């Protein structure tokens, strides 16, 4: 029997659920507080005609064929492998740390086997890896930890590496070869016409009504829906009854350089030690757009503002579990997405989680 669903949030989690439910004949009302769809993946042309990501750089990467094929129904892709340099000791060096990083930083000429031995020698052998500090020390040792990770992490999270769960720093691999790609996934692409265009196609089914600038929780209180899917911050849903679940925010400083065709050698340059911002991204690298000027964004981490990141550390996980226990008893509501599940998910992981929810609700699996 078809139902009438309310979906709160039109990011990846909400849009995937909406698309799947509508395809099975359900009516879907999807609401977002913001004036646009696509959540944090939203992209738009700035006033100079350059496609930018207002909420920071988004690069799609996945190892999941199912997720890639699912999204491929709504977009063509542009092959793009993201590369990042970190400004350390006045030089721009590859991050993730690889053979080139070590050779350039220390003025060495190590072969791949030498680089492997070098890393093995400097890394700290630990019996137990619990924090992000443990991860970095056991991967690259003290000096590289201080130069590439300690300062960046302090800026990004307002916390020391030792105060964050292992998963945060474990996102960044260590390599003894010359592979300088930021991600190691088998599939790395950008949606050819951008994310917003892809979302428009996902939400094109006439069974879906999109309402922007709308608080979905207000609609929930007023409306009569057979089921609700909530993708916003978990603590907000419960009116912060158990106190704040910490999320990290960012301030984005966008800039257009009208006479610079290309500013950076690669898409992103990280600033682990100097500057207040963590990184500068130049969008034309990601999108492949041709333009006589260029548009960039600097990311300044901050405590207050839109919730962008869950903060993975044991006390926050404990608070999340308290909220989750409440969520589990909430009748007729499913919680999914990076904010609602309080997981440091990439886009593909959110798509995967949403597909699981949709399968359960439609009885597909």
Cα Dmax for the chain: 68
171 CB contacts (<8 Å, ≥6 apart)?
Answer: 344
What gap in Å lies between CA 282 and CA 266, rounded to an integer?
8
> Which long-range contacts link 120-124 to residues 24+ away (Cβ below 8 Å)?
none
In whole angstroms, the minimum distance from the beta carbon of 19 to ligand FAD comes to: 13
Which among ligand UDP, ligand FAD, none contacts residue 215 (Cβ within 5 to 8 A by kind)? ligand FAD
230 scored as a contact of ligand UDP (CB under 6 A): no
Stretch that binds ligand UDP, among 165-173, 208-216, 219-227, 320-328 (CB under 6 A): 165-173
Radius of gyration of the chain (CA): 22
Confirm or reject binding of residue 169 to ligand UDP (CB under 6 A): yes
Give the dihedral sign, CA 347/17/74/51.
negative
Pick one of 60, 70, 118, 152: the residue that binds ligand UDP (CB under 6 A): 152
* 268 binds ligand FAD per the rule CB under 6 A: no
Q: Is 246 in the site for ligand FAD (CB under 6 A)?
A: no
Binding mask 283-312 for ligand FAD (x = CB under 6 A): -------------------------x----
User: What residues contact 321, with CB distance under 8 A and at least 6 apart?
Assistant: none
Contact letters for ligand UDP, residues 30-69 (x by CB under 6 A) = ----------------------------------------
Distance in angstroms (rounded) separating the CA atoms of residues 194 and 53? 9
Distance (Å, whole) CA 152 – CA 238: 33
Binding-site size for ligand UDP (CB under 6 A) equals 13
Binding residues for ligand FAD, rule: CB under 6 A, are 8-14, 31-34, 39-41, 55-60, 215-217, 231-232, 250, 308, 337-339, 345-348, 350
């Amino acid at each position: 029997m078809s139902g009438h669903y309310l979906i709160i949030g039109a990011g990846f989690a909400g849009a995937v659920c909406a698309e799947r439910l509508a395809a099975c004949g359900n009516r879907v009302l999807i609401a977002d507080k913001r004036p646009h769809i696509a959540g944090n993946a939203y992209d738009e042309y700035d006033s100079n005609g350059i496609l930018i990501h207002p909420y920071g750089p988004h690069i799609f990467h996945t190892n999941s064929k199912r997720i890639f094929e699912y999204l491929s129904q709504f977009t063509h892709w542009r092959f793009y492998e993201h590369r990042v340099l970190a400004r350390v000791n006045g030089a721009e060096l590859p991050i993730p740390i690889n053979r080139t990083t070590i050779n350039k930083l220390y003025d060495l000429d190590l072969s791949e086997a030498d680089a492997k031995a070098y890393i093995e020698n400097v890394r700290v052998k630990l019996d137990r890896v619990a924090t992000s500090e443990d991860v970095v020390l056991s991967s690259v040792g003290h000096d590289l930890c201080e130069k590439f990770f300690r300062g960046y992490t302090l800026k990004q999270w307002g916390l020391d590496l030792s105060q964050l769960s292992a998963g945060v720093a474990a996102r960044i691999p260590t390599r003894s070869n010359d592979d300088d790609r930021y991600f190691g996934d088998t599939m790395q692409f950008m949606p050819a016409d951008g994310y917003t265009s892809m979302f428009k196609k996902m939400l094109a089914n006439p069974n879906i009504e999109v309402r922007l600038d709308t608080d979905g929780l207000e609609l929930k209180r007023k409306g009569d829906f057979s089921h609700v899917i909530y993708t916003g911050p978990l603590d907000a849903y419960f009116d912060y009854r158990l106190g704040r679940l910490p999320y990290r925010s960012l301030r984005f400083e966008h800039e257009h350089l009208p006479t610079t065709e290309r500013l950076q050698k690669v898409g992103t340059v990280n600033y682990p030690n100097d500057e207040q911002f963590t990184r500068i991204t130049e969008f034309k690298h990601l999108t492949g757009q041709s333009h006589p000027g260029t548009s960039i964004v600097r990311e300044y981490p901050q405590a207050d503002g839109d919730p962008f990141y869950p903060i993975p550390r044991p006390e926050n996980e404990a608070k999340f579990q308290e909220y989750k226990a409440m969520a589990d008893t909430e009748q007729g509501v499913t919680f999914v997405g990076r904010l609602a599940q309080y997981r440091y998910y990439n886009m593909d992981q959110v798509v995967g989680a949403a597909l699981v929810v949709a399968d359960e609700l439609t009885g597909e699996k």
